[in-house]
Amino acid sequence: MNAAKPEQIFEGNGVSPGISLGQALKLDSYNRVILKILLEDSLVEEEVKRVQRAIQASREQLERLKLRFEEKVGRERSFILDAHILMLEDRRWGSEIEALIRNTRANAEWAVRQTTEGMRRAYESLEDEYFRDRVIDIENVVERILANLAGDKPFSWAALPQDLVIVSHNFNPSTFAIMDLEKVRGLALESGGRTSHTAILARSLGLPAVMQIRDFLTSVTTGDTVLLDGDEGRLILNPTPERLDRARARLQKCRALHEPAPFQAGAAVTKDGVAVSLRANTELPHEVRLAQRCGAQGIGLFRSEFLFFADPHGFPTMPAQLETYQMLAREMKPHPVAVRTLDAGVDRVMASPSSATEPNPSMGLRGIRLSLAARELFRTQVEAILRASLEGKMEIVLPMISTVEEVWEARKLIEEVRREITRDSGRDMPCVPVGAMIEVPAAVLSLESVAREVDLLCIGTNDLVQYTLAVDRGNPQVAHLFQPLHPSILHCLQRIAEVGEALKKPVRICGEISANPFFAVLLLGMGFTELSMNPLSIPTIRKVVQEVTLAGSQQIFKKALGLPTASAIGDLVLDAVSKLVQTDLSPYVKEIRAQGGGPSDYRN
């Protein structure tokens, strides 16, 4: 303990609740300098074999780590490592690395880094925290390959003391499999967010965690005393005796590591017999297998723009898209796969002077507007989806619909492409269900006319909240006003549910609010029985659904509808849902409490 050092307080984002006291273990973050080295022609094929061996070794290491993790905390938590394993099994990525080595005669390290840069930048540019956090997965996998290329030896946990709080820039979730969980009391990281795989595992293991702590690593030395508060999102370095006395009761009450609750599989059916379809939101092809392992009943939303971002030309060919869509259809059979057509701005997929001058890209030429302006691009994507429907159930979802005319134009083009395929192939091409993303207030207000022209409705809650409340959630000055529980949002959702029921149109929630049990119960009370979310959240939401009744959920929603503010609705939901379920919901409380918070007490 370092009593002579002054107390320092650092603020961050509490991503896993609880409070813990321990000594800091500062882990080095690799900052490798990767240079491009030009190889002799005779060495190129050996370099290809070297990267193949490194990828294979990385996959085998993760497979072994997954088995060790299963032994420690159970199979239901080890599937998080599948995301890394599946990236390594992605032959398209491996082929890109090998092709880059051959075409440029470059070293393997440079090729590995180069092939992931475009995808990493695409994720970092997104507003949604869940997708920004996927950058960490990419970096973790790349770092493992680079470590194997360099012949690095793994870190040893054997001789470490008890009561450790890990402090680092980043933390690879696979490390949970090799570390002694009995010795670790918390995580304090510079990077990461609530939806990162490390955060999800920390919550599952009952391990307090604070992420996004800025400028603190230079102040911390291994062995320093650390008081970590995951509830408040705070790290106190070298706390005073007075502060420790005040925290004593909380420390005694909070167990830093508890026995995980048993995993429950099976259908998502409420206690009064209402079936709820839980589907997965995905954006990378390999995630389909993760969705399967989490029990998804289909892909509720495949964000196809990442196929475009990953393509060096920005426009993947029809065969390239078809290969991905066919794989999704086969893997998810008999469940459907909903492909959202390109939902990106012109600045993201067209390198032209005009594309860079849009003053407000989020309200510019993007989504369905871009597809209808670049019809050949749209036709190529539609053809690939239609052809893939011969392998399994496919759905086409049109993004950013604001007028019924957009639906008419899109459906006319889809039908033209279907007839062309039928004519050219000599076999009848079946019709594919077409849906509309409801994420613009204009679509909500004119919903009857839009709904009559489509087969299903998909609600993009993130954009719906942003556009309805006129809030840029990426702007810290107004981020506290991004309130999914705002009364106006509840009324929008209620209207969509009522119109869908009246017109007998399936309605699917595709925003990540579905992944929070408090929101999920409220959505069930509104009448939504199709929820799509990140795959890793499905097991928890399934368990919560099994513990509630539709009648109880409806009562909560009726009370919420009569309240005037997001904060009042949040208080009601916290209290009412907590009384309905036995699952520990403490990891999700902070997100609800943020409703209605001002700039001074809100942390994204």
Domains of the chain in start order, with CATH, are 8-27+157-253 (3.50.30.10), 41-150 (1.10.274.10), 463-604 (3.20.20.60)
Dist CA 180 CA 164 (whole Å): 10
Which are the contacts of 128, defined by CB distance < 8 A and separation ≥ 6? 462, 512
Work out the average pLDDT over 114-129. 73
Q: How far is CA 455 from CA 107, 463, 503, in A?
A: 50, 21, 10
Q: Name which residue leads in pLDDT, 213 or 249.
A: 213
Work out the average pLDDT over 539-551. 94
Asked if pLDDT for residue 196 goes beyond 60, the answer is: yes
Which are the contacts of 464, defined by CB distance < 8 A and separation ≥ 6? 438, 439, 440, 441, 444, 489, 492, 511
Asked about 491 being catalytic, the answer comes back as no
**CB half-sphere exposure, 63, CA atoms < 13 A:** 9
Structure tokens at 331: 């893997």
Asked if pLDDT for residue 121 goes beyond 80, the answer is: no
Asked if pLDDT for residue 600 goes beyond 90, the answer is: no
- The three-state secondary structure class of 311 is coil
Asked if pLDDT for residue 351 goes beyond 50, the answer is: no
**Which residue type occupies 135?**
V
- Mean confidence (pLDDT) of the chain: 85
Per mean pLDDT, which of 23-27, 156-160, 357-361, 454-458 is the most reliable? 454-458
Asked if pLDDT for residue 461 goes beyond 90, the answer is: yes
Asked if pLDDT for residue 314 goes beyond 70, the answer is: no
Q: 106 with 37: CB under 8 angstroms?
A: yes
Q: How far is CA 600 from CA 233, 584, 604, in A?
A: 14, 28, 12
Asked if pLDDT for residue 398 goes beyond 70, the answer is: yes
Cα 319 from chain centroid? 27
Which are the contacts of 5, defined by CB distance < 8 A and separation ≥ 6? 224, 237, 238
Dist CA 470 CA 465 (whole Å): 8
pLDDT at 126: 65
Q: 210 with 236: CB under 8 angstroms?
A: no
pLDDT at 225: 93
Which are the contacts of 153, defined by CB distance < 8 A and separation ≥ 6? none
- Per annotation, catalytic residue among 254, 458, 492, 510: 510
Q: 377 with 369: CB under 8 angstroms?
A: no
Asked if pLDDT for residue 443 goes beyond 70, the answer is: yes
Q: Name which residue leads in pLDDT, 369 or 170.
A: 369
Which are the contacts of 386, defined by CB distance < 8 A and separation ≥ 6? 394, 414, 417, 418, 421, 429, 432
Q: How far is CA 109 from CA 35, 101, 120, 483, in A?
A: 8, 10, 16, 44
The rounded radius of gyration (Å) of the Cα atoms in the chain is: 25
pLDDT at 69: 74
Alpha helix (H) residue ranges in 176-316: 197-205, 241-253, 287-293, 305-310
Tell me phi and psi for residue 223, to 5 degrees. Answer: 105, -15
Comparing 68-77, 78-87, 449-458, 582-591, the range with the smallest average pLDDT is 68-77
Q: Determine how many CB atoms are found less than 10 A away from the CB of residue 103.
A: 10
H, E, C per residue of 341-394: CCCCEHHHHCCCCHHHHCCCHHHCCECHHHHHHCHHHHHHHHHHHHHHCCCCCE
Comparing 120-134, 306-320, 436-450, the range with the smallest average pLDDT is 120-134
Q: How far is CA 263 from CA 98, 133, 296, 501, in A?
A: 40, 25, 15, 34
Comparing 38-47, 95-104, 470-479, the range with the smallest average pLDDT is 470-479
Tell me phi and psi for residue 281, to 5 degrees. Answer: -90, 125
Asked if pLDDT for residue 318 goes beyond 90, the answer is: yes
- Per annotation, catalytic residue among 197, 286, 335, 480: 197
Alpha helix (H) residue ranges in 486-594: 487-502, 517-526, 538-547, 550-561, 566-580, 589-593
**CB half-sphere exposure, 352, CA atoms < 13 A:** 8
pLDDT at 231: 83
Cα 597 from chain centroid? 24
pLDDT at 261: 41
Which are the contacts of 28, defined by CB distance < 8 A and separation ≥ 6? 168
Helices (H) then strands (E): counts for the chain: 25, 16
Work out the average pLDDT over 516-536. 94
Asked about 458 being catalytic, the answer comes back as no
- The three-state secondary structure class of 533 is strand
Peptide bond into 359 cis (omega under 30): no
Asked if pLDDT for residue 257 goes beyond 50, the answer is: no
- Torsion angle, alpha carbons of 215, 217, 223, 229, to 10: 50
Dist CA 44 CA 47 (whole Å): 5
pLDDT at 269: 95
User: What is the per-residue DSSP string for 107-155?
Assistant: -HHHHHHHHHHHHHHHHHT-S-HHHHTHHHHHHHHHHHHHHHHHTPPPP
pLDDT at 77: 62
Q: How far is CA 323 from CA 158, 262, 316, 383, in A?
A: 46, 38, 11, 12
Tell me phi and psi for residue 597, to 5 degrees. Answer: -70, 150
Work out the average pLDDT over 405-428. 94
- Looking only at Cα atoms, what is the longest distance across the chain? 83
Per mean pLDDT, which of 30-39, 209-218, 513-522 is the most reliable? 513-522
Q: 191 with 170: CB under 8 angstroms?
A: yes
Q: How far is CA 71 from CA 65, 175, 213, 310, 504, in A?
A: 10, 14, 32, 36, 47
* 192 backbone φψ class: left, alpha, beta (φ>0; ψ -120 to 50): left
Torsion sign across C-alpha atoms 454, 455, 459, 463 = negative
Asked if pLDDT for residue 458 goes beyond 90, the answer is: yes
The CA-based angle 577-580-584, given to 5 degrees, is: 75
pLDDT at 156: 65
Asked if pLDDT for residue 534 goes beyond 70, the answer is: yes
State the pLDDT confidence band at 364, using cuts at 50, 70 and 90. Answer: confident
Q: Determine how many CB atoms are found less than 10 A away from the CB of residue 373.
A: 12
pLDDT at 353: 39
State the pLDDT confidence band at 511, using cuts at 50, 70 and 90. Answer: confident
State the pLDDT confidence band at 603, using cuts at 50, 70 and 90. Answer: very low
pLDDT at 267: 74
Helix axis angle for 82-89 and 44-73, nearest 10°, is 160
85-102 pLDDT, tens digit per residue, is 888 988 888 999 999 999
State the pLDDT confidence band at 390, using cuts at 50, 70 and 90. Answer: very high
H, E, C per residue of 170-201: CCCHHHHHCCCCCCEEEEEECCCCCCCHHHHH
Asked if pLDDT for residue 12 goes beyond 60, the answer is: yes
Q: Percent of the chain beyond pLDDT 90?
A: 52
